[in-house]
Amino acid sequence: MSSNPTLTFLVGLLVLIVFFWYFVTDFPRRRRILGTVLTFLVLGICIDSFWPERVQKQQAIHPEISDPAKAASAAQPLKYEYKQKINFGLDLKGGTSFLIRLVKEEGRVPTKEVLDQAVEVIRKRVDAYGIGEPVITPEGQDRILVQIPGLEAEKIAEAREQLKKVAKLEFRLVHPQSEQLIAAIEAGQAPIPPGYRIEKEETIRNGKTEESKLLVHSKVDIEGKYVKSGSPMYDQQGYGVSLQFTSEGAKLFGELTSKHVGERFAIILDGKIQSAPVIRDAIWGGNASITGRFTQQEAHNLASVLENPLAVPVVVEEERSASSTLGDDAIRSGIYAGLFGLAAVLIVVALYYRLAGLIAILALVVNVAILLGIMGMFHFVLTLPGIAGIILTIGLAVDANVLIFERLREELAAGKSFPAAIQGAYAKAFTVIFDANATTLITAGILFWYAAGPVKGFSITLIVGVIASVFTAMIVGRNCFDWGISSLGLKGVKMHHLISDKMNIDFLGKRRLWIGLSLSVMIISIACFIYRGEKNFGIDFKGGDMLVLQAKSNVTEAQVRNELGKIGLADSVVQKEHEASGNDYISIRSRNGTAETIEKQLVSALPQAGFQQHKYDHVGTLVGGELARNSAIALGLGILGILIYVTVRFELSFAVGAVVALLHDVIITVGVFALAGRELSLVMVGAILTIAGYSINDTIVVYDRIREGLHSGRKGSIQDIMNASINETLSRTLLTSGLTFLSVAALFFFGGATLNDFAFAILIGIIVGTYSSIFIASPIVLWWSRGTGENLAKTVKKKGESPAVEA
C-alpha cells in the first residue's frame, strides 16, 4: 500500500471519516464498531509503513549467451531481500557526519543562492564516492549537514579535505621579462610594475621540491567559473587534469592565447601556481590541461574540485563518525533494553490490574506499532537517542491507563454499575490526560525546534509516542471494555491496591521541613556544579575531539596516557570501558584537531592492542558555544510555555508551583550528575528537557485533583483539600513512577555505554520529580495564594470547570 499513493490517500481519508464519526455518534453499538474499524485501519496502515518490504535482487545474466531465451534459463533462480522502511541514523548503521559552515568574506553573509550552490557542489563531490543515500541538507543560513553512511575509515580524512576545498581557479598572464624583473626587484633595483604581482611556483624535480617566483597579472585574465568540466589524465609529463571550458570560456581562452603567442600564462589554484606553460599557438576549442607534478590520487581530487568549485571558503565545524560495529552493538543493546523494560512493565501491569492490565498491555502493543508506523510513514530517522525515546515512551504510555484504572476504582467504590463506572472513569480521566500530555508535548516540541542531530530523533519519538499513547488509552482500551460488557457480559474487574484509601498523610503540615531539605540539596548541587567548572561539559559544549578506539587485546589507561604525554597531550581525558559484549574501548577527549595525531601515535606505539577506530566526534568551539546558548534558550522557552499553559488551564499560583518544582528537579539532577563526575553532552539536553516534561506531567495529575476538589465544594480548608488530593493520587504517582523507572532502568543497565549517561539522568529525574510533585509544587501553590491574599477556591471556580470529553 505504501507504494501506491492513491490507495494511501483513500485509506487515510477513510481513517479521518471514521475518526470523526466515532466522536459524534451517540449509539453505543455503532461506536464500538467504529472504534474497532478505526483501530484496525490505523494498525494496518502503521504495520504496512514499518514492515520490511520484499524486493527482488538483481540477477546476473551470462554475457557470453547471446540468445535471450537461453540467457534467461541460465540465470540464477530469483532471489529476494527485505528492504527496511525505517531509516536508521549514522549512530546505528555507521558512517560519518560533517557540519560545514560557509565562511563570511569581507563581512558579507553568504546568501541563500550561495548556500544552495554550495549544497549542489558538495552533493556532486559526495556522489563521486559512490555511497548510497547520502544526506546533504542546508542548516540555517550558512551551514550544510553532510551525512555519508558506510564511509570507510581510510576515506574519512580524504572526504573531509574534499568537502572543504574551495578550488578557486584563475588564469593570469606572466610578464614577458618575469625572471629579469624579479631579480631586479629583489635586488632593490626596480619596483613591481603596475598591474602585476609576484606569485610562487613549486616544481618537483627528481623527487625534490624547487621553488621559483613569477610576475603575473594582478587582475584575473580568465576566471575558473568558465571551466565546464575537469577529468584526470596521464601524458608524457605525468598525471594531470584535463579542462574543458564553457562556450564563453572557450572564446575568451582562444582570444587570450591568440594575442599572446610565445608568452607564458599561469594556472593558479587556491593562490598557488600549478603550472605556467608557454603559449605555442592559439588554443581554440576550449580545451586545456594542468600537468607536471601530481600523483594519480591528487589528479583525481583536483579534477573533482575543479569541476565543482565552491564559491566561498568553508570550514568543518563538527564531525562525527561511527563504525558499523558501533551501530550493530547499539541496535543490539537497544533491543535488549527495550525487551527487558517492556517485559518488566507488562508483568507488573498484568499482575497489578489483572484483566484491566491485559487490556493496557494490548493498548501498549498497539501504541508501539503506531509509533514505528508513523516513523516509517514520514521517513523519520531512528537514532540511538530515538531508541531511548521509545523505551521511555513505554513507561509514559502506561500512565494514561493507570490514570483511567485508578478513576475506575474510585467509580466502582462509589457504588456505580460497571458500565457507568467505565463511562465516568474515561470522562474524568480525559482532562488530566490531556493536560499532562500537553505539557510534555510543549517541552518535546521546543526540543525538536532547537535540537540538532540525534537529539531531534529523541524528540520525534517522544512526540509521536505521547500522541499514540493518548489514542490507544482513550480509544483502544475503551473499546475493549465496551465489547467485554456488551458481548461477554463483563460485570467488573479486580485490581490490587498499592495505597490504602484510609491513609491521610499530612504532607503540607511539614512543608517547611521538605522545602528546607530541598533548598539544601539544591545549594549543594549548585556548589558542586560550580566547583567542577568546565569539567561538567563534554566536547559538545566546549568543543574538542573525542576518539573511541576498540582494542583487540588488553591495554591500560596508564599506557595510553604515557603515549599521549610523548606528543604533548597529557591533559587529555582517557577512559577505558568494557561492554557486556566483551569488547574493550578506549575513549580519549582532547583538544580540537588532535584526534588524528593521537590515533597515529597509539597505533604505532601499541601495535599489540590492535586498535581500530570505533567512533570519532569533532566539535568546533563555535558550535559548542551555540549549543550551550540554544540549550539555555530551549529550557527557558519550555518553562515559559508551561507557565502560560498552566496559568490558562489552572491558575497563576499553580503555574508558579509547577515551574519551581521543575527548576528544583533540573538543578538537583544536574547537581547529582556533576557529583557523579559525569559530563553534559548533546544527548543530555534531551534528558534535561525530558525530566522537565516528566516533572510537569506528574505535577499536573496532583493539580487536577486539587482543582476537582475546589470545584466540588469539598468541605475543609485549602490545605485540607490539597492534602486529600495528594493522598488520593499517591497510588497512581508511585505506580507510574515505578513503571517508568523500570523501563529506564533497563536502558541504564542494558542500553550500552552510549546511553548510560542519558538513562542515569532520567532515573535521577524520576525520583526527584516524584518527590517534587508531592512535597514542593503544592506547598508553593499554598504559599503563593496566601501571600497574594487571593481566595484560591473562588479564583479557580471563576475559570469554570473544564469540560469532560467522553471517549
Quote the pLDDT of residue 526.
Answer: 94
Per the model's pLDDT, the better-predicted residue between 747 and 71 turns out to be: 747
Give 192-229 pLDDT, tens digit per residue: 889 898 888 776 555 566 778 889 998 889 887 788 77
Q: How many CB atoms lie within 10 A of CB 301?
A: 21
What are φ and ψ of residue 529, in 5° steps? -65, -45
Max avg pLDDT among 305-309, 693-697, 738-742 = 738-742
Give 435-463 pLDDT, tens digit per residue: 878 877 887 787 777 665 556 767 788 88
Cell numbers of 142, please? Answer: 550558512
Please report which confidence band the pLDDT of residue 530 belongs to, taking 50, 70 and 90 as the band edges: very high
For residues 792 and 215, give the distance between their C-alpha atoms in angstroms, rounded to a whole number. Answer: 86
Q: How many CB atoms lie within 10 A of CB 767?
A: 16
Q: What percent of the chain has pLDDT over 90?
A: 7
Q: Is the pLDDT of residue 525 over 90?
A: yes
Averaged pLDDT score across all residues of the chain: 79
For residues 83 and 86, give the distance between their C-alpha atoms in angstroms, rounded to a whole number. Answer: 9
Overall residue count recorded for the chain in this entry: 807
For residues 460 and 436, give the distance between their C-alpha atoms in angstroms, rounded to a whole number. Answer: 18
Name which of 157-161, 357-361, 589-593 the model is least confident about.
157-161
Helical H runs in 319-383? 324-353, 355-377
User: With helix as H, strand as E and coil as C, how does 410-457 read?
Assistant: HHHHCCCCHHHHHHHHHHHHHHHHHHHHHHHHHHHHHHHHHCCCHHHH
Give the DSSP H/E element, type plus range, for residue 47.
helix 28-50
Cell numbers of 145, please? Answer: 549537514
- Sheet of strand 222-223, all strands in order from the earlier edge strand to the far edge: 208-217, 196-205, 272-275, 265-269, 169-173, 222-223
Name which of 154-163, 608-617, 790-799 the model is least confident about.
790-799
Give 472-501 pLDDT, tens digit per residue: 888 898 899 999 998 888 888 888 877 766
Cell numbers of 448, please? Answer: 525538536
Max avg pLDDT among 548-557, 782-791, 798-807 = 548-557
Max avg pLDDT among 72-76, 84-88, 462-466 = 462-466
Q: Is the pLDDT of residue 40 over 60?
A: yes
Quote the pLDDT of residue 341.
Answer: 79
Max avg pLDDT among 276-290, 589-603, 728-742, 765-779 = 765-779
Cell numbers of 79, please? Answer: 532471489
On whether the CB atoms of residues 255 and 279 are closer than 8 A, the answer is no
- Sheet of strand 95-102, all strands in order from the earlier edge strand to the far edge: 135-139, 143-149, 95-102, 314-322, 612-619, 544-551, 584-590, 573-578
For residues 590 and 767, give the distance between their C-alpha atoms in angstroms, rounded to a whole number. Answer: 34
For residues 630 and 632, give the distance between their C-alpha atoms in angstroms, rounded to a whole number. Answer: 5
Strand ranges inside 528-568, DSSP E: 544-551
Give the DSSP H/E element, type plus range, for residue 251.
helix 247-259
Mean predicted confidence (pLDDT) in 298-304: 71
Q: In which residue are the cell numbers 514499518 written?
A: 50
Mean predicted confidence (pLDDT) in 562-579: 80
Quote the pLDDT of residue 801.
Answer: 46
Per the model's pLDDT, the better-predicted residue between 669 and 119 turns out to be: 669
* pTM of the complete model: 0.69
CB within 8 Å of 5: residues ≥ 6 apart? none
Mean predicted confidence (pLDDT) in 567-592: 76
Of 691, 704, 646, 777, the C-alpha closest to 406 is 704
Please report which confidence band the pLDDT of residue 81 belongs to, taking 50, 70 and 90 as the band edges: low
How close are the terminal C-alpha atoms of the chain, in Å? 30
Give 363-396 pLDDT, tens digit per residue: 888 988 888 888 888 877 777 667 767 776 777 7
Q: Is the pLDDT of residue 800 over 60?
A: no
Name which of 586-600, 650-664, 705-719 the model is least confident about.
705-719
Quote the pLDDT of residue 422.
Answer: 92
Please report which confidence band the pLDDT of residue 97 belongs to, taking 50, 70 and 90 as the band edges: confident
CA dihedral (690, 696, 699, 705) in degrees, to 10, reads -120
CA dihedral (334, 340, 346, 349) in degrees, to 10, reads -110
155-183 as b/e: b if 16+ CB within 10 A: ebeebbebbbbbbbbbbbbbbeebeebbe
Strand, coil or helix: 235: strand
Of 474, 466, 468, the C-alpha closest to 429 is 474
Quote the pLDDT of residue 735.
Answer: 85
Cell numbers of 416, please? Answer: 456505580
Give the DSSP H/E element, type plus range, for residue 81.
strand 80-83
Strand, coil or helix: 570: coil
Mean predicted confidence (pLDDT) in 549-574: 83
On whether the CB atoms of residues 705 and 729 are closer than 8 A, the answer is yes
Q: What percent of the chain has pLDDT over 70?
A: 81
Quote the pLDDT of residue 3.
Answer: 56
Q: Is the pLDDT of residue 703 over 80?
A: yes
Pairing between β-strand 196-205 and β-strand 169-173 as defined by DSSP bridges: unpaired
